Amino acid sequence: MKGRRQSRWLTPAGATATAVFAATALWLTLRFKTNWPWLTSYLLAAQLPAFLLYGFDKRAAIKKNRRVPERTLHVCALAGGSPAAYIAQLLFRHKTQKKSFQRVFWLLVVAQASLLAWALLR
């Protein structure tokens, strides 16, 4: 590993697990404390891991530590976190210049929008 030594707890796997745990706790809280529909609660909670992992990955890139795999970032977007992923890209200025990453990201966004339109029009 190049650069400074990375903490055992601040690894990409640890960050992913923490973000997913926080999102699950948020989803359960929203679902059962607010009585919102499950999909609304889920989509709000899905924003958390996407945003956190983009921030973690940007910090890891700056410090030259182990990075969050691009596949993990795409899965977070695919799981409903694409709005937060896009905001994080702009806010952290992260992954905005990498064409291959952007191509996959926007394909996921188009697929999600198409699926949502289909579900609403059905």
Q: What is residue 64's DSSP assignment?
A: T
Please give the structure tokens belonging to residue 114. 């198409």
**Per-residue pLDDT for 100 more than 90?**
yes
- The pLDDT of residue 6: 53
Angle at CA 84, nearest 5°, toward 89 and 75?
A: 90
**Per-residue pLDDT for 2 more than 60?**
no
**Per-residue pLDDT for 55 more than 60?**
yes
Please give the structure tokens belonging to residue 122. 């059905």
Share of the chain above pLDDT 90, in %: 43
Please give the structure tokens belonging to residue 89. 């890209």
87 contact partners, CB below 8 Å, separation of at least 6: 51
Q: Decide: 84 and 53 in contact? Cβ < 8 Å.
A: no
The predicted model scores a pTM of: 0.80
Indicate the residue type of 67: R
